[in-house]
Structure 1
Amino acid sequence: MPVSLPTALRRSAAALFTGLALAAAAQDGPHRQQVPGYYHQAIGSTLRVTALFDGVVPLPRAQIKGLGAAQVDALLKRRYVPESPQGLQTSINAYLVQVEGRRVLVDAGTADCFGPGLGQVAANLKAAGFRPEDVDDVLLTHAHPDHLCGVLGADGARAFPNATLWLDDAELAYWEGPEAEPRTPQALRFIVGLARRALAPYQAAGRLRTFRPGDALPGGVRALASPGHTPGHTSYLIGAGDGQQLLVWGDVVHYHVVQFARPAASYEPDVDRAQAVASRRRLLAQAAREGWWVAGAHLPFPGLGHVRPEGQGYAWVPAEFSPLPPGRP
């Protein structure tokens, strides 16, 4: 059943969900527009990924758990992360991956769930040269609104009419089961309804598929269980040829300046913080050891780069701007 909330209530609840006030209103006029919110990256001999910008939200320092305030301040000092009274600027990104002849979208952004200033994935997908009808599969890292709501169009119908929606079996069971609402604070329980609303049209059309770690996914994508932020949170490892691989890791990191250096720092809304820390430690170590490319939903746009060891933690190495090689689609 569709969830209908008064605008003011929905905006207030969204602010609570992320621990923030809503992002700034949409820019007005051409002179206020930034560059188009997409970026193409060729990886290896076979893979092309297009980063899609959805918008930014401020996440408060107070929602960083497991470190003292002085430690957080010291890590953020002279790192120049834009910060408003509501919090630290945090990007929301989705990724279109062209692999083995398929167009696979990993996460879909917020659509209209969080108000103006967000919900830009659909427009940036078109600006990048793709139609919603071109998307073959949508792989969801988890079912939070900033990753899931974009699967619906403004009319509540499927935004990607030819796509199959893929979600971890445990993740779907959590959001459709009886424990989702009790484990969600009262003021935030609207997100349970949003998840069910977004999934419903795909279920009705027979376009929702679930999987378990190890199952075969489209394009040879490998699902890596990374629970903690949500019970079925999943990251995706995608082969690129020439020995290279891309890890799309969803919400493994929210505060990049803090959590690379101190992986034990957790995020207040994590359902299981200890499990989220364990997942982050494991994926950071793997990505650094194997030299994987990484794409992160909440890393500074375009959120593509590598992880390297640094001290007792890690550091983020953003990709340098690069033209596409000749002949690449």
Structure 2
Amino acid sequence: MSTSNSSQYASRFHQGQGFYSFSLGNLTVTSVSDGFLVFDDPQAALAPKADSQEFDTILRKKFLSSDTAYTHINTLLIEGNGKKVLIDNGCGDSLGPSAGLLVKHLANAGVKASEIDIVLVSHAHPDHIFGTITRTGEHVFPNAHYMISKEEWDFWTDPNIKISSPFGDEMARAAILGAQRHLKAIEDRVSFFDSEQEIMPGIRAIRAFGHTPGMMAFIITSNRKRLIYTADALHHFVVTLARPDWELGVDNDPVEAIVTRMRLLEKITSVEAPLVHVPHFPFPGIGHIREEHAGYVWEPVVWEW
């Protein structure tokens, strides 16, 4: 990952207000941007074992470069039933000036950090949980209760944990130490849930192991309308859908992650064709996925002001 590239982009572009709201049944749902990251070697992260020519061709067909990858960071706010629920809390101040914008963008949407009641954690990677506490240890969401799968908690809090990273050993160590720091900070305000469990009215967890050992996706349902938050079972809006069978360098267990990805895509493209929110697809990351040839295609929602 290139921090310098991300910083350069951040200094040049300050577009929009960073949120997109819509109705889902009786709920108000808002995609809130935490910013973005830029990667220097997309193939190392997205398809390390793939044929380079095919990788380049897939990107070129969508007018994208294989030299760098621009990765969005989208979180999801759900308002209803007297609660404000946030799914994942972004990077915080850990990954440079192009990210860590969640609190600012929530405020743009009229929501204070202190108003968040519950934070659901899909998994404990830096761009999904490092927005928990500041560098000096203050809680970013001071009144929030946290919920995470027990498998994910146990993996990251294991003192003997080992992970690899396509970005090198230093990044892997930083991810481990950071996850342990942020998880320790919520020891007294966390509870655990299982896959297929209804965590609260209208929100159910879906097992999505592979990217991390305990990652969960979520199905949000209201008045017969459904939205699936995929977490990082899906990653790049072109590559991951065109070749969902390719291993990702950012997956802890690439083989299990492929099984999860294929199962989730089958669920998404079933006859019900639910709305989908994907954390790393182009903001606001809201749309539908349809089958095309041997893979899948992203159909973003038409933006409504």
CA displacement at 1:62 relative to structure 2: 2.2
List structure 1 segments (4+ residues) > 6 angstroms apart after TM superposition. none
Aligned to 2:229: 248
Higher alpha-carbon deviation: 121-130 or 263-272: 263-272
Aligned to 1:54: 34
| Ranges in structure 2 where 5+ consecutive residues have no aligned partner | none
Aligned to 2:210: 228
AA of the residue aligned to 1:195: A
Aligned to 2:255: 274
Contact 1:305–1:318, Cα closer than 8 Å, also in 2: yes
Identify if the C-alpha distance between structure 1 residues 182 and 47 changes in structure 2 by more than 3 Å, giving closer, same or farther: closer
Structure 2 residue corresponding to 1:79, chosen from 54, 62, 68? 62
- Work out the CA distance in 1 between the residues paired with 2:300 and 2:163: 39
AA of the residue aligned to 1:61: P
Contact 1:224–1:236, Cα closer than 8 Å, also in 2: yes
Aligned with 2:268: secondary structure?
helix
Contact 1:224–1:235, Cα closer than 8 Å, also in 2: yes
1:300 maps to 2:282: yes
Identify if the C-alpha distance between structure 1 residues 183 and 210 changes in structure 2 by more than 3 Å, giving closer, same or farther: farther
CA displacement at 1:80 relative to structure 2: 2.4
| Cα deviation code 1:23-53 (max 9, x no counterpart) | 1247559xx531111111222x212211111
Aligned with 1:166: secondary structure?
strand
- Work out the CA distance in 2 between the residues paired with 1:283 and 1:316: 14
CA displacement at 1:193 relative to structure 2: 1.0
Aligned to 1:194: 178
CA displacement at 1:239 relative to structure 2: 0.2
| Cα deviation code 1:43-90 (max 9, x no counterpart) | 2x2122111111222232322134211111111113123x485x2111
AA of the residue aligned to 2:16: V
- Work out the CA distance in 2 between the residues paired with 1:186 and 1:88: 21
Contact 2:242–2:296, Cα closer than 8 Å, also in 1: yes
Aligned with 1:189: secondary structure?
helix
| Cα deviation code 1:126-185 (max 9, x no counterpart) | 111001111111011100011001122353221111111111100000001144236666
Identify if the C-alpha distance between structure 1 residues 217 and 300 changes in structure 2 by more than 3 Å, giving closer, same or farther: same
1:170 maps to 2:156: no
Aligned to 1:321: 303
- Work out the CA distance in 1 between the residues paired with 2:8 and 2:29: 29
What percentage of residue pairs aligned between the two structures are identical?
30
Higher alpha-carbon deviation: 123-132 or 210-219: 210-219
1:161 maps to 2:137: no
Aligned with 2:31: secondary structure?
strand
| Cα deviation code 1:221-255 (max 9, x no counterpart) | 100010111000110001021x2211111111222
Identify if the C-alpha distance between structure 1 residues 75 and 26 changes in structure 2 by more than 3 Å, giving closer, same or farther: closer
CA RMSD of aligned residues (A): 2.0
Identify if the C-alpha distance between structure 1 residues 306 and 202 changes in structure 2 by more than 3 Å, giving closer, same or farther: same
- Work out the CA distance in 2 between the residues paired with 1:160 and 1:199: 14
Aligned with 1:301: secondary structure?
coil
| Cα deviation code 1:303-328 (max 9, x no counterpart) | 001111111111111011124xxxxx
Aligned with 2:214: secondary structure?
coil
- Work out the CA distance in 1 between the residues paired with 2:200 and 2:94: 28
TM-score, length basis structure 1: 0.85
CA displacement at 1:219 relative to structure 2: 3.5
Aligned to 1:8: none
- Work out the CA distance in 1 between the residues paired with 2:134 and 2:173: 22
Aligned to 1:149: 130
- Work out the CA distance in 2 between the residues paired with 1:208 and 1:219: 18
CA displacement at 1:20 relative to structure 2: 7.0
- Work out the CA distance in 1 between the residues paired with 2:138 and 2:144: 13
CA displacement at 1:99 relative to structure 2: 3.3
- Work out the CA distance in 2 between the residues paired with 1:141 and 1:152: 17
Contact 2:43–2:55, Cα closer than 8 Å, also in 1: no
- Work out the CA distance in 2 between the residues paired with 1:162 and 1:123: 17
TM-score, length basis structure 2: 0.91
AA of the residue aligned to 1:297: P
